[in-house]
Amino acid sequence: MLKHEILSSITNTKVVAVIRGNSAEEAVELSKAAIEGGIRAIELTYTTPQVQKAFEALYGADVLLGAGSVLDAETARHAILAGAKFIVSPHFEETIAPVCNRYGIPYLPGCMTIRDMVKAMEAGCDIIKLFPANNFTPSFIKSVNGPLPQVRVMPTGGVNLDNIGEWLAAGAVAAGIGSDLNKAYTAGGYNAAVELTKEYVQKSNQ
């Protein structure tokens, strides 16, 4: 896929499932539940032990696979070679951007300040991850888009069923969800994660 096609896939799907497994096997199960529930973009985090096994197990699935919790350029390259189509960090790391640009892969860095957002855009980042989003309200996007109308924001961290609609209505191009899926899976297993995902997909399309 070309970079603009990957970006379009993220913005069209609106919901990115952030998968943090206690093992690669759990990450695969959570991912499959999210896919069955209608999610079309998944971020496999590098906090998951042996996460490459999860990439291998999900290769060929009908989903856009990305990598999260990427802290440095070496990890970014590893993820891209493992099949990641987009790279996500909790912060903006200058050394990651050139690697992603070299391979034509979108880099979505976590930013909280205008300064970080501008630096990220100057490095070629097309979507900014607002993280952690629970420190903000959806109106923050409008405030940012005043001086920076070209910034496209994806809130992550603190997004839930009650506020995802507000974030999208406020101008978020997509939203990252994660902890809710883990909680549903822990409490009710695979089927519970599937049903919760369906609710998120439904909310995002209202």
Q: Which residues are catalytic?
A: 43, 129
Indicate the length of the chain as a whole number: 206
Q: What stretches of the chain show up as alpha helix (H) in DSSP?
A: 3-13, 24-36, 51-58, 73-82, 96-103, 114-122, 139-145, 164-169, 179-204
Q: What is the DSSP letter of 161?
A: T
CB-neighbour burial class of residue 82 (10 A; exposed 0-12, middle 13-18, buried 19+)? middle
Angle, helices 51-58/73-82, rounded to nearest 10 degrees: 30
Spatial CB neighbours of 183, under 8 Å, sequence gap ≥ 6: none
Cα–Cα distance, 130 to 112 (Å, whole number): 6
Cα–Cα distance, 154 to 90 (Å, whole number): 12
Q: How many Cβ atoms sit within 10 Å of the Cβ of residue 4?
A: 11
The CA-atom distances, in angstroms, between 37 and each of 30, 31, 40, 201 are 11, 10, 9, 8
